[in-house]
Chains A and B, each alone.
Chain A
Amino acid sequence: DSGVTQTPKHLITATGQRVTLRCSPRSGDLSVYWYQQSLDQGLQFLIQYYNGEERAKGNILERFSAQQFPDLHSELNLSSLELGDSALYFCASTPGSPNTGELFFGEGSRLTVL
């Protein structure tokens, strides 16, 4: 158990819909990272927040947004969903930023868009 909690574990929705994925980092970690894992693209960095502020942006689509709340949990919002958005979405956390040390990953949220 990494200490990172993600909900929901599985989510099935239709094209055009909007979903929210939630992440609680390890106790004491200030940084939260979101990654997308698909069969053809591998594990892709989306976005990082540190203590409530956006710190780095990767290959995140404009239809996706995220935020980190004062209690340090984070949410990833995915809108106007397309079939290609079906993937595993992972949250990871670390104590500080920037981080090139160990990432502690949650178990992921599997999104299926039909």
Chain B
Amino acid sequence: TQLLEQSPQFLSIQEGENLTVYCNSSSVFSSLQWYRQEPGEGPVLLVTVVTGGEVKKLKRLTFQFGDARKDSSLHITAAQPGDTGLYLCAGPGSARQLTFGSGTQLTVLP
């Protein structure tokens, strides 16, 4: 079973601060996805990383896929209250279904 562990589980920061959340596994993934879930809604895809060492930027969000394709990180610069949400990483698991990590609940205080 391919497991994805995310850390930290909870993160509360002030507006304007930077932060990094992590997604780690002992298994190699062909790709990893990051989703954001806001209260009362389903997860929404932010980005997919497919190449080891790949870095993708989405405005203030920077995603990195580890060289060995076992881990990924999400860095947010100058966080805003609108960034508040549950950040989930996901990768192909058994039966080629997406397996999700447990998530990082981010709260950005104004």
User: Which residues on A are within 8 Å of B, measured CB to CB?
Assistant: 2, 4, 33, 35, 42-45, 48, 56-58, 90, 92, 98-103, 105-108
Q: Give chain A nearest CB distance to B44 CB in angstroms.
A: 7
Query: Does B102 reach chain A (CB closer than 8 Å)?
Result: yes
Q: How far is the CB of B37 from chain A (nearest CB, A)?
A: 8
Q: Which of A2, A4, A100 contacts B98 (CB 8 A)?
A: A100
With beta carbons under 8 angstroms apart, the residue of B31, B98, B102 that contacts A45 is B98
Do A4 and B42 touch across chains, with their CB atoms under 8 A apart?
yes
Are the CB atoms of B96 and A100 closer together than 8 Å?
yes
Chain A residues with Cβ under 8 A from B42's Cβ? 2, 4, 90, 92, 105-108
* CB of B84 to closest CB in A, whole Å: 18
In the complex, whether B30 has a CB less than 8 A from a CB of chain A is: yes
A43 with B43, Cβ < 8 A, contacts A48-B97, A102-B33, A103-B98 known? yes
